[in-house]
Amino acid sequence: MTEGLRDTHGEGTRLDPWLGAYAARAQAMRASEIRALFAVASRPEVVSLAGGMPYIGGLPLEEIGDMMRRLIVDRGETALQYGSGQGDEALREQITQVMALEGIAAHADDVVVTTGSQQALDLVTTIFIDPGDVIVAEAPSYVGALGVFRAHEADVVHVPMDAHGLIPVALESTLARLQAERKRVKFLYTVPNFHNPGGVTLSLERRPQILEICARYGVLVLEDNPYGLLGFDHEPLPALRSMSDDGVIYLGSFSKTFAPGFRVGWAVAPHAVREKLVLASEASILCPSNASQLAISSYLNHSDWHGQIKSFREQYRDRRDALVGALEENIPSASWNVPEGGFYVWVKLPAGLDSKSMLPRAVTARVAYVPGTAFYYDGQGADFLRLSYCFPTPDRIREGIRRLAGVVDAEMETVRIFGTGAADRSGSVEFPSPDLA
Amino acid sequence: MTEGLRDTHGEGTRLDPWLGAYAARAQAMRASEIRALFAVASRPEVVSLAGGMPYIGGLPLEEIGDMMRRLIVDRGETALQYGSGQGDEALREQITQVMALEGIAAHADDVVVTTGSQQALDLVTTIFIDPGDVIVAEAPSYVGALGVFRAHEADVVHVPMDAHGLIPVALESTLARLQAERKRVKFLYTVPNFHNPGGVTLSLERRPQILEICARYGVLVLEDNPYGLLGFDHEPLPALRSMSDDGVIYLGSFSKTFAPGFRVGWAVAPHAVREKLVLASEASILCPSNASQLAISSYLNHSDWHGQIKSFREQYRDRRDALVGALEENIPSASWNVPEGGFYVWVKLPAGLDSKSMLPRAVTARVAYVPGTAFYYDGQGADFLRLSYCFPTPDRIREGIRRLAGVVDAEMETVRIFGTGAADRSGSVEFPSPDLA
């Protein structure tokens, strides 16, 4: 007798009685490839070069434990209570000091603390994106950002990078084309430093060019910068936000420079945008965790966090060297970039190989990576894969690459015999693959 | 020369250059009345009967501090790392034991851990609500839920309560009317125990009736239960979820039974819905905080959490008695319910008074409350206000009510002289105000 949205008669009943009740956006949600990989990579016998998990073993756990104890005993009535939607004021002040390392002059009022910078991505998308709106993003782009954009039914248009980051003339021609097509381009999503997954850094020379192009087309810039302080060879480049106050929303995170387990990130936005972000965050979570925020604040106050970042940089440089050295030795038929910071190497497979169809065989050989297709909105990227060197030890990295080399060799043998592979199916790729090697 | 969405010419420029770029949903976002009140209520000279902040001073901070230290020292490499999108498995198992106290037999697989139950509200709304879809909710309803529903452009239709909770015949006639109007009713939002703000509890007799009506109309039930274990006089009633596995999404929280500063809540949902909730949560925050989750898990393992809840119940009962006693003594012209648990008393003002316009005068008199209008989607409720007794001491509660009595007396005098008030402007109210007295 029902005319409601619950399916009490049809075929779908046994699977999901609420199938007819979901919102349109829920249809577009699908399990990310990284999610499935987390389950695989957690098995101890697998060398995971997949996830972006930082090397937490490098932290002084005794010292952090003592700090947490003092925090609860001395300030528990604040740390365990609700806080403000915008975030703890003292922490926001400290965040402005962290950002000053990249040339940003911001006020604590400009900062919104979020549940990891992932929540900041979600909030920005929430307040700007109607279904069908366009987001311009590097090719490839961070898989977690693409997941948010997909959940909000955005259209993502990729713009190629090269070894110096996003290519200004490619950005300009893409925006001109989209303008001619009367598309509503809401923002440029970019990871300028030690790109995930590309590993490259936007050159100093190109930074004002990118800003000028976006300003001319009336397009906001969303600068996502989790890795900026993790450069191996030189001081951080000035952030895009340091060159434009009201044309840039900047996202930062403590997940890579300290620890992701607290889930503390932040956004800096033009004043009126910041107001909307706070309202959207309050609707979403009421307020970020005071316990987490005050833990970060204590850490910044009482620990040698500059020294810890220096130590992380040295550890990650060793691991990058281990990864790149092992690639040279074991998989010379592939090509890759050598990142100057961050967590990732972007590898182009020998012609004919498909990173997605190869993955099950890699996992069988006890090594995991992320296939390149995860980092594109449109299915391209099968000839690439992302390797992370942040978590395993150098020895484990070398062992992982030896295992991967065996899988690649076997795939190449198959391609030689049967002649099939990714290269034969790339006719539908709309944008050129980036040249990152 | 731009045809972009940035306003570089118009009047809006000085205020917000991105005014033309926001999504439709961002237009509907507005500052909640509770948010503005948090700023006021934080001034020490104000007795705040406004916020729902639990009495954290009742927690054993030394013991919790030691526990946090051990957690970081012994399990820091997990606590400080990323975790799974669904939440820590051991904690999800413990959550099933907490829910067993209200008769729920769930599996850890059915549980999704969230950043407070507010995030669970947001996720459920995200996966079910397209703009214009209808949510049926009690009149009045929790202001934070209304904020989420508004952010997703839902239409909320209120159904009256009485002293025994949501009225079944009123629910049925509302659903029949909405069905006749061919509205898409997605779910019933209900707080069955110690309602916020109404203070009432859905009677045992009515529980299966509500479920039967919703099942008949194909409407999902969203059961929000943060206060269920905080009853003063008797054991918890069985949850709606304990009577229906696949017709109910259940939301729980540690914010009221332990501490809100960790931001840990959860949802229990039918299997296919749970899958969607995890995907939506991953898009929104990647994963909940491991540090927070493991802190809760340790607390449940090592502390006498049953004893702590018993202690909270006794403290809150004393505070309720202080509030109700002070109302009887000082504001006999108003009427109110006497809640049997939870945090809130719902007060009907004497005829002609308007709780919203009275609020600035109350704050001037150094007492704060939440006006009734915050708890309705349609502007009604000006003749009600919500008083919270959870945070201030009994002495402060009595002092706050004495101050409020002075404000009410002055307002009544004004009404007697000028004859204006809320009662004169209630012609547009669509649904009857609940009789909670």
Which residues, 6+ apart, have CB-to-CB distance to B146 below 8 Å? Answer: B137, B156, B374, B375, B376, B377
Predicted local confidence at residue B433, as pLDDT: 28
- Give me the amino acid identity at B343: F
- Long-range CB contacts (< 8 A, 24+ apart) of B277-280? B277/B112, B277/B120, B277/B123, B277/B124, B277/B127, B278/B85, B278/B86, B278/B112, B279/A29, B279/A30, B279/A31, B279/A151, B279/B85, B280/A26, B280/A29, B280/A151, B280/B123, B280/B126, B280/B127
Kindly tell me the burial class for residue B43, based on how many C-beta atoms sit within 10 Å of its own C-beta (0-12, 13-18, 19 or more): exposed
Q: Are A132 and A25 in contact (CB under 8 A)?
A: no
Predicted local confidence at residue A436, as pLDDT: 30
CB atoms within 10 A of CB A419: 10
Coil vs helix vs strand at A112: strand
Question: DSSP class of residue A422?
Answer: G
* Facing A72 at nearest CB: one of B65, B129, B219: B65
CA–CA distance from A433 to each of A137, A161, A421, B141, B388 (Å)? 13, 8, 16, 52, 59
Distance (Å) from the C-alpha of residue B170 to the closest C-alpha of chain A? Answer: 18
Complete edge-to-edge strand list for the sheet that includes strand A185-190:
A111-115, A264-268, A248-253, A220-224, A185-190, A134-139, A155-162, A165-166
State how far the Cα of B228 lies from the Cα of A106, in Å rounded to an integer: 44
Q: Are A351 and A397 in contact (CB under 8 A)?
A: no
State how far the Cα of A356 lies from the Cα of A362, in Å rounded to an integer: 10
Residues in chain A: 437
* Cα-based angle A79, A81, A84 (whole degrees, multiple of 5): 95
Give the max Cα distance, chain B. 70
State how far the Cα of B42 lies from the Cα of B48, in Å rounded to an integer: 8
DSSP states along B82-136:
---SS--HHHHHHHHHHHHTTT----GGGEEEEEHHHHHHHHHHHHHPPTT-EEE
Predicted local confidence at residue B20, as pLDDT: 87
β A370-371/A111-115 pair status: unpaired
Token readout for B237 is: 């009633």
Which residues, 6+ apart, have CB-to-CB distance to A212 below 8 Å? Answer: none
* Facing A283 at nearest CB: one of B21, B151, B217: B151
Q: Where are the beta strands (DSSP E) in B178-291?
A: 185-190, 220-224, 248-253, 264-268
Distance (Å) from the C-alpha of residue B19 to the closest C-alpha of chain A? Answer: 9
* Facing A291 at nearest CB: one of B59, B82, B262: B262
pLDDT digits (tens, 9 = 90+) for A96-136: 999 999 999 999 999 999 999 999 999 999 999 999 999 99
B177 has a chain A CB within 8 A of its CB: no
State how far the Cα of B37 lies from the Cα of B363, in Å rounded to an integer: 10
Q: Where are the beta strands (DSSP E) in B325-413?
A: 335-336, 344-348, 367-368, 370-371, 384-388
Q: Do A130 and B23 touch (CB under 8 A)?
A: yes
Please report which confidence band the pLDDT of residue A262 belongs to, taking 50, 70 and 90 as the band edges. very high
* Facing B116 at nearest CB: one of A24, A25, A285: A285
Predicted local confidence at residue A27, as pLDDT: 77
Complete edge-to-edge strand list for the sheet that includes strand B335-336:
B335-336, B344-348, B384-388, B370-371
B286: chain A residues, CB-CB within 8 Å: 116, 118, 144, 263
Q: Are B128 and B280 in contact (CB under 8 A)?
A: no
B352 has a chain A CB within 8 A of its CB: no
* Facing A285 at nearest CB: one of B76, B115, B127: B115
Coil vs helix vs strand at B19: helix
Predicted local confidence at residue A261, as pLDDT: 97
* Secondary structure, 3-state, B32-68: CHHHHHHHHHCCCCCEECCCCCCCHHHCCHHHHHHHH
- Ordered domains of chain B (ranges, CATH): 25-58+307-428 (3.90.1150.10), 78-302 (3.40.640.10)
Return the exposure string of B363-390: e unless at least 16 CB atoms fall within 10 Å of the residue's CB, then b. Answer: bebbbbbbbbbbbbbeebbbbbbbbbbb
CA–CA distance from A183 to each of A33, A215, B344 (Å)? 29, 17, 50
* Facing B80 at nearest CB: one of A26, A56, A273: A56
Predicted local confidence at residue A425, as pLDDT: 41
pLDDT digits (tens, 9 = 90+) for A4-54: 676 654 444 457 888 889 998 887 676 655 566 557 667 889 999 998 999
pLDDT digits (tens, 9 = 90+) for A359-378: 989 999 999 999 999 999 98
Coil vs helix vs strand at A427: helix
Mean residue pLDDT of chain A comes to 91
State how far the Cα of B384 lies from the Cα of B350, in Å rounded to an integer: 9
- Res A216 pLDDT > 50: yes
B429 phi, psi to nearest 5 deg: -70, 130
Token readout for A313 is: 């940089």
B158 has a chain A CB within 8 A of its CB: no
DSSP states along B216-228:
HTT-EEEEE-SST
Predicted local confidence at residue A315, as pLDDT: 97
State how far the Cα of B240 lies from the Cα of B202, in Å rounded to an integer: 10
Predicted local confidence at residue A73, as pLDDT: 98
CA–CA distance from B200 to each of A35, B140, B341 (Å)? 42, 11, 9
Coil vs helix vs strand at B358: helix
* Most confident stretch, A152-156, A356-360, A414-418, A427-431: A152-156
Which residues, 6+ apart, have CB-to-CB distance to B43 below 8 Å? Answer: none
Token readout for B407 is: 């404000």
- List the one residue out of B220, B136, B210, B196 whose CA is nearest residue B167: B210
- Give the ipTM of the model, two decimals please: 0.92
- List the one residue out of A38, A71, A54, A61 whose CA is nearest residue A116: A54
Q: In B, residues 6-45, which contact A (CB 8 Å cutoff)?
A: 6, 8, 15-19, 21-26, 29-32, 35, 38
Comparison of pLDDT for A429 and A93, the residue scoring more? A93
Q: In A, residues 41-100, which contact B (CB 8 Å cutoff)?
A: 51, 53-54, 56-57, 59, 61-62, 64-66, 68-73, 76-85
CB atoms within 10 A of CB A205: 9
Token readout for B63 is: 């013991």
Coil vs helix vs strand at A135: strand
**For B196-262, where are the alpha helices, taking DSSP H only?**
206-216
B280: chain A residues, CB-CB within 8 Å: 26, 29, 151
Question: Searching chain B, which residue's CA lies closest to the CA of residue A67?
Answer: B69
pLDDT digits (tens, 9 = 90+) for A133-169: 999 999 999 999 999 999 999 999 999 999 999 999 9
State how far the Cα of B385 lies from the Cα of B334, in Å rounded to an integer: 11
B273 has a chain A CB within 8 A of its CB: yes
Predicted local confidence at residue A424, as pLDDT: 40
Q: Are A112 and A134 in contact (CB under 8 A)?
A: no
Prior bond of B197 cis (ω within 30°): yes
CA–CA distance from A84 to each of A90, A113, A279, A302 (Å)? 12, 10, 11, 23
pLDDT digits (tens, 9 = 90+) for B248-257: 999 999 999 9
Which regions in chain B score pLDDT beneath 50?
Answer: 1-3, 9-13, 422-437
